Chains A and B, each alone.
Chain A
Amino acid sequence: MFNASMPTSPGSMVNQCKFEEDEESDSKDIFITVDNPESHVTAIETFITYRVLTKTTRSEFDNSEYEVRRRYQDFLWLKGKLEDAHSTLIVHPLPEKFVVKGMVERFNGDFIETRRKALHKFLNRVADHPILSCSEDFKVFLSAQAWELTTYKKQGPGFLSRMGETVRAVANSVRGVKNRPEEFTAIQEYVEDFSNKIGSLDKVTQRIVKEQKEYLEELKEYGPTYTLWSGSEEELAEQLKGVAGCIERCCKETEEQVGHLSDTLVPVLHEYVLCAETLKAVLRRRDNIQAEFEAKNEALATKKVDRDAESSDLGFVWGSLLGKNPEEARHQRQERLDGEIEELKEEIDKLEDRVEWANNALKGDWGRWQRSMRGDLKSAFLSTAEKNVDYYEKYFIFIHTQITVSL
């Protein structure tokens, strides 16, 4: 199953190995690579595209291999479509549009590489998801040529209908959900706490990187003072140069360690900061679906009350103004209300299904998400701890040799 010739980053290799252990991935049948960033310059703009290479045995795909080029906007589009279609499934986050702090240029090498890795992870997560990976939009994203994709994108619900949905969602969120099941409240509380913790870890780790870099800067100045001193000494020259050598070695190892931290732990923590936001949004959307259902139920109850009430004087007066027979007016009104009630009942049935489906989808994905969160964070921290052990071991061996040789 595992295609050894595919270039993968060590991080995703670990994740893929991890998924090999899950029952789901016994059937891993889509392998995706994101690589080869290239700059494109047009009259209007400059942007980067990435090569997306897909190998698959799935029957829905016409071919077994696809190679396309995609830009960040395309990934954003895909994510949007997936979330629209499956509003309570947990879609892995995309790297951010811009890096606010640090004023990193969009075309800086490190930035591009970090983004590439995150995009690679995003697509592979989608590919591993039992429901999301079957999405038609996903298939098109992986296989369509650039112009085909542009055409495809133009189809689908227009701008106005999406606006309508957003307005409804806002209205529902203002109203709020009244009877949220306990388990979702528990999840929400967890997500709040998790969001705080992962945010703190992200900050702490970035602070460590900063401190290590500053330490490294000073070390780089420190070694040479011993070398300078050795120039004035005879008996001590060798020892002084020995110490200078040790410090130089420490510099080298520290540089590597900082690099590892930046490549391995920082991106993962950052991803999960984004995940926390995704989870919050998913919970909100679930709440909104339930809120809509509840709202419709309330409307139905009101209508029923209306229908069962005696004809109001106002209705009678109105009817007679129109020249209607009061008996007839009441009858017509009853019929009208009955019709509306039937419509509402149908809508409510559909909404009830929708709520049930949304809840089940979320419940299922929640377990999945927790497992992959544990896997990702465990492996990132493990890797960091291993690298730190390695750092001290290498430095230790070097000093030891130096002591026996020159000190």
Chain B
Amino acid sequence: MMADSGPEEIAVIGNTDLTSAELENNIKNTMVEIEKWTSLLRKMEISVGEAEKRTGKNTVNMQEIYTVYLIETRPVDAVTEGIIPAPDSLWRRYSEFELLRNYLLVTYPFVVVAPLPEKRAEIVWHKLSADNMDPDFVERRRVGLENFLLRLASHPVLCNDKIFYIFLTEEKGWKEMVYETGFQAKADSRLKAMNAAFRVKNPDKRFTELKHYSDELQTVVSQLLRVRARVADRLYGVYKVHGNYGRVFSEWSAIEKEMGDGLQSAGHHMDAYAASVDDILEEEEHYADQLKEYLFYTEALRAVCRKHELTQFELEMAAQDLASKKQQKEELVTGTVRTFSLKGMTSKLFGQETAEQREAKLQVLEQQIEEGEEAVKEKNTESDEFVKTAWLDIEHFKDQKDRDLKEALISYAIMQISRCKKGIQMWTNAKECFNKM
């Protein structure tokens, strides 16, 4: 049974007798075990299989059309005697994905949470419509959502989250469950804090650098994507105009005797050349999506940096508060007033306090100092904890980013090679036809 398997025995997870229902049961009953799994993906296949349109009433009671996506899950070890059982599935719409992500952002502020694919098609070139209902857009979003879920499932911390698991496995009641966690209140205060203006005196240098890096990355990648879209648009134009050669060659071949055959077949190759650009650009769109993911990641990076600044600021405030209390105590004890204070002035004006009054004040201050020291210690621990866990996740993110983008760049170069090969073939064919003219 699952209770016996610890982190050293991950391999045992491949228990062929387990059905997905039992799986679920185990999760609910033994939350502790979840923490020992390093990756949900080892346990479960996740995919976003299809998309469908639904109609319904929205929050202001108006008719709307929206798209839902089919999430399918299946235990990795489910293949028994070569029979692959049907996956469990449920439908989710984009807003539910958003809700999941917001919940995770608030609950794990030290994690660089994977971004969602675009809500609306932003950086487009003319062929793609910016319409959310466009089938190509919906398809690319489906792929993006699947990628999002896989990112979460392979994250060492996030994969263990119960809400995430339920998102994947239970269609009804999930939303209520999320709200029951009370994350909304945290989300609101987080938002406020994110937007507040404050100055941190001693932020961790690494986070400051990371913030600059994420700003740079955002600028540079958005510019790259914009220009790439324009280049794609132009390339499309070049290829498609060649299709006109196809038409004219065909018409011309009708009035020629010797040249007729050569022209006719050359025309076909021109048509093929013009048509070839569609596949080429679709592949490139996939590359653009890979870059876009990291463009959107920069927001998550900035959020983590911001959270660090916040915790650091709170620490500094607590320390500052403690220091001022200590100073007040000292002044009270020694009777000297080093700093101007209204109390000091009034006491000068209205005479010194009595010994009892002073004693009472001192006691209050000492109490406050004790509390203050606790607070500082707490904040210090919190801050250190945050820096440690966040930086771990950031290193993890950096490695992932370098790997993913390296692969993306290489695959982009390979796409160009493939385009060249197609071009060589088509123009060589055309050349042979012209030779026959």
Interface residues of A (CB under 8 A from B): 190, 193-194, 197, 200-201, 204, 207-208, 211-212, 214-215, 217-219, 221-222, 225-226, 228-229, 232, 235-236, 239-240, 242-243, 246, 250, 374, 377-378, 381-382, 385-386, 388-389, 391-393, 395-396, 399-400, 402-403, 407
Contact = CB atoms under 8 A, between A and B. Distances in A.
Interface in B140-180: none
A197 B416 contact: no
Task: Pick from A218, A242, A246 the residue with the most CB of B within 10 Å.
Answer: A218
B237 A403 contact: no
Given A393-B420, A396-B421, A232 B217 contact: yes
Contacts of B423: 388-389, 391-392
Given A242-B413, A382-B431, A197 B266 contact: no
Nearest to B426: A388
B428 to A, nearest CB: 5
Interface string B400-437: 00100110011011101101110110011011001101
Given A232-B216, A246-B416, A218 B431 contact: no
Contacts of A197: 248, 251-252, 255
B431 A236 contact: no
Contacts, number: 141
A381 B402 CA distance: 46
A386 B217 CA distance: 42
Contacts of A215: 231, 234-235, 237-238
Interface stretch (B220-228, B299-307, B358-366, B373-381): B220-228
A193 B255 contact: yes
Contact of B437 (A219, A232, A374, A395): A374
Given A194-B255, A218-B227, A232-B216, A211 B237 contact: yes
B281 to A, nearest CB: 13
Contacts of B9: none
A403 B248 contact: no
Contact of A232 (B213, B255, B434, B435): B213
A204 B402 CA distance: 45
A207 B259 CA distance: 24
A232 B220 contact: yes
Nearest to A393: B424
B220 A378 contact: no
Interface in B239-265: 241-242, 244-245, 248, 251-252, 255, 258-259, 262
Contacts of A246: 413, 416
A214 B252 CA distance: 29
Contacts of A378: 259, 262, 434-435, 437
Contact of B405 (A194, A211, A225, A236): A236
B248 to A, nearest CB: 5
Contact of B428 (A190, A222, A389): A389
B235 A386 contact: no
B28 interface: no
B364 to A, nearest CB: 53
Given A197-B252, A389-B427, A374 B220 contact: no
A396 B424 contact: yes
A222 B227 contact: yes
A73 to B, nearest CB: 35
B388 interface: no
A19 B262 CA distance: 21
A222 B284 CA distance: 14
Given A214-B234, A243-B413, 20 more contacts: A200-B244, A201-B245, A207-B244, A215-B235, A217-B234, A218-B231, A219-B231, A222-B224, A225-B220, A232-B216, A232-B217, A235-B402, A235-B406, A236-B405, A240-B409, A243-B412, A374-B437, A385-B427, A388-B430, A392-B424
| Chain B contact residues, majority secondary structure | helix
Given A225-B220, A374-B258, A399 B420 contact: yes
A204 B406 contact: no
B230 interface: yes
A301 to B, nearest CB: 39
Nearest to A388: B427
Interface string B341-353: 0000000000000
Contact of A229 (B224, B237, B241): B224
Contacts of B262: 378
A209 B396 CA distance: 48
A220 to B, nearest CB: 10
A407 B406 CA distance: 8
A389 B428 CA distance: 6
B252 to A, nearest CB: 4
A141 B409 CA distance: 63
B435 A382 contact: yes
Contacts of B427: 385-386, 388-389, 392
Contacts of B221: 229
14 contacts: A197-B255, A201-B248, A204-B245, A208-B238, A215-B237, A228-B220, A228-B223, A229-B217, A239-B405, A242-B413, A386-B431, A392-B423, A396-B424, A403-B417
Task: Pick from B217, B221, B259, B413 the residue with the most CB of A within 10 Å.
Answer: B413
Contacts of B217: 229, 232
Contacts of A402: 413
Nearest to B224: A225
B48 to A, nearest CB: 28
Nearest to A402: B413
A65 to B, nearest CB: 37
Contacts of B431: 382, 385-386, 389
A156 to B, nearest CB: 39
B394 to A, nearest CB: 14
B434 A239 contact: no
Given A204-B241, A204-B244, A208-B242, A399 B428 contact: no
A198 to B, nearest CB: 8
A215 B281 CA distance: 14
A214 B231 CA distance: 9
A389 B424 CA distance: 5
B420 to A, nearest CB: 4
Nearest to A230: B220
B234 A211 contact: yes
A212 B434 CA distance: 22
Contacts of A391: 423
Contacts of B245: 201, 204
B213 to A, nearest CB: 6
Contacts of A388: 423, 427, 430
Contacts of B430: 385, 388
Contacts of B252: 193-194, 197, 201
A399 B224 CA distance: 20
A212 B428 contact: no
Interface string B196-225: 000000000000000001001100110110
